[in-house]
Structure 1
């Protein structure tokens, strides 16, 4: 008899719980809510980042990135920041997490797990490098700073945490090359330039706080240049802000519209920016640089 009462009580509790659950369903996500993406903006149709099917948080996307050695719980720790001008050296560094552990898991983005951008503080001497990582998480890459001055190095990567969560981060650190520093003035704004016989131009006017498509064309005397894929697209674009050297996230479209290569740029505010377009023809990567003023 006692056993029957216990069993009957359990059945009644289950039924009551089911009924209350139907009367009080779990809260749903409002239709106006945006999926978690770190406040990162994307061009129309691209949606949030997903690398290998995993959602990616974007650190520091409200403004320019690369302004600090630490962001989103990750820290850039170089072994040395001094490089004699004109002398071949090697830059070695680690990316460490909040527990000071060297990060060893990175997602491959634009065909590489790590992109290193180096430029002098007057926005000259641009270099786009791809370090290699040792098993202990130490990255290394040959580096020559051709002129004296203070240089900025940006590590652009997507770290993979222990739980599989991916975070896209750009960290920056100053490098020093001793000697007389003679900064060069920023070239005047222009929408066209020439590089090794190629004419490179773009159409559109960047606007503060808006995602704007920049349509680039690369031409030779014979017409459109036979562009080849480089880093997963038909070009790679980096934009840096004059003054604090803030690093802008620029999104390429993987395909082309005829001879047009499109990138989506969001300028966080007014000012002057320097854009660097890497493109590849016949296996050779060249860089076209532009100054743009955002009103």
Structure 2
């Protein structure tokens, strides 16, 4: 029986709309240099301020990935405007003195987990960059369309009392930008002949189980393979501001169920990306869910094209 880990890194924040950043109201337009997010620590909302939270979620922790700097660390992108299609991303994590960080705590087999997602949440990449001795990271990536993207660095610095940090920074792929609608909420996702079913709902301010069941050809998959030390990895992104959380089940397996305990900090639309490995290949099943609005529908169309949820590239 799988034991889940609690999703705690979301918090209410002012959502940045696509129209503000890239002119969605005009339909299609060119994309230029990205506007960088401001530096600074996460600050709690002032009493009486509407931060987007639903009632009962005021004590939710700060959202991950909403800051380019936190706790004295900064995500520094060397390639903020990659070309459309295949390219190489380079970045570093700098400390408070501006020096590149070279010492990390290995978690789930990696010093750092790197995620890139499009602002409309139709493209998702879980990348595995390589660090040079001087602290510069690099990874190949395939970004299929022009538009706004966000990069997330999920890591824990070396040190006995170090805490995990998720930093986020904007990427922009130049070209004519045609935003895509987010896939509709669904209980089933299909990828490479696998069918993944989602059970449970996201409820603002209340923990609940999300159980993802993997099958193929109408039969349950009972021999999932460990991937980075786990039978499933879940990344959750909130629509609008792309608040981020990367979680793993802490025991259980090898399938067909992968279970997480999730708490939504606010009502709204969320995109869930489940990574699982079978037959020596990592696949990603993606879901759109609603929190505080009745959850995902009981019967819905499988989540597949046109979103591009795949992308496990190694440097």
The bucket for the TM-score relative to the shorter chain is 0.7 to 0.9
**What's 2:310 paired with?**
none
Please tell me whether the aligned partners of residues 230 and 279 of structure 1 are also in contact (alpha carbons under 8 angstroms).
yes
Query: 252-261 or 236-245: which moved more?
Result: 252-261
Q: Distance in 1 between matches of 2:225 and 2:89?
A: 29
**What's 2:62 paired with?**
63
**What's 2:31 paired with?**
none
Q: Once the 2 structures are TM-superposed, how far is the Cα of residue 64 of structure 1 from its aligned partner?
A: 2.0
* Pairing 1:180–2:179 present: no
**What's 2:227 paired with?**
230
Q: Once the 2 structures are TM-superposed, how far is the Cα of residue 258 of structure 1 from its aligned partner?
A: 5.9
**What's 2:272 paired with?**
275
Q: Distance in 2 between matches of 1:208 and 1:186?
A: 21
Scaled by the length of structure 2, what TM-score is found?
A: 0.71
Mark the runs of 5 or more structure 1 residues left unpaired by the alignment.
1-41, 45-58
After TM superposition, list the pairs within 5 Å mapping 1:133-172 onto structure 2.
133-161=131-159, 164-172=160-168
Please tell me whether the aligned partners of residues 224 and 254 of structure 2 are also in contact (alpha carbons under 8 angstroms).
no
Closer, same or farther in 2 for the Cα pair 1:213/1:179, shift >3 Å? same
**What's 2:81 paired with?**
82
Aligned-partner SS, 1:90 = strand
Q: Distance in 1 between matches of 2:242 and 2:127?
A: 18
Aligned-partner SS, 2:137 = strand
Please tell me whether the aligned partners of residues 83 and 176 of structure 1 are also in contact (alpha carbons under 8 angstroms).
yes
Q: Distance in 1 between matches of 2:219 and 2:144?
A: 34
* Pairing 1:195–2:194 present: no
Q: Distance in 2 between matches of 1:43 and 1:149?
A: 32
Give the aligned CA root-mean-square deviation in angstroms.
Answer: 1.9
Bigger Rg, which one: 1
After superposition, the C-alpha distances for 1:96-118 in whole angstroms (9 at most, x for unaligned) are 11122211111111111111111
Aligned-partner SS, 2:110 = coil
The structure carrying a bigger helix percent of its residues is 1
**What's 2:200 paired with?**
204
Following TM superposition, the consecutive aligned residue runs of length 4 or more in structure 1 with deviations greater than 3 angstroms are none
Q: Distance in 2 between matches of 1:201 and 1:119?
A: 22
Please tell me whether the aligned partners of residues 232 and 248 of structure 2 are also in contact (alpha carbons under 8 angstroms).
no
Scaled by the length of structure 1, what TM-score is found?
A: 0.76
Q: Distance in 1 between matches of 2:218 and 2:275?
A: 21
Please tell me whether the aligned partners of residues 236 and 279 of structure 1 are also in contact (alpha carbons under 8 angstroms).
yes
Q: Once the 2 structures are TM-superposed, how far is the Cα of residue 43 of structure 1 from its aligned partner?
A: 4.0
Aligned-partner SS, 1:160 = coil
Mark the runs of 5 or more structure 2 residues left unpaired by the alignment.
8-40, 43-59, 293-315
Q: Once the 2 structures are TM-superposed, how far is the Cα of residue 89 of structure 1 from its aligned partner?
A: 1.7
Q: Distance in 2 between matches of 1:174 and 1:165?
A: 29
After superposition, the C-alpha distances for 1:210-259 in whole angstroms (9 at most, x for unaligned) are 33221111001251123111121111110000001110243423313863
**What's 1:128 paired with?**
126
Q: Once the 2 structures are TM-superposed, how far is the Cα of residue 275 of structure 1 from its aligned partner?
A: 0.4
Please tell me whether the aligned partners of residues 253 and 263 of structure 1 are also in contact (alpha carbons under 8 angstroms).
no
**What's 2:71 paired with?**
72
Q: Distance in 2 between matches of 1:252 and 1:289?
A: 17
Query: 142-151 or 246-255: which moved more?
Result: 246-255
Please tell me whether the aligned partners of residues 214 and 255 of structure 2 are also in contact (alpha carbons under 8 angstroms).
no
Give aligned pairs, total. 237
Closer, same or farther in 2 for the Cα pair 1:249/1:67, shift >3 Å? same
Q: Distance in 1 between matches of 2:232 and 2:191?
A: 15
Q: Distance in 2 between matches of 1:230 and 1:99?
A: 35
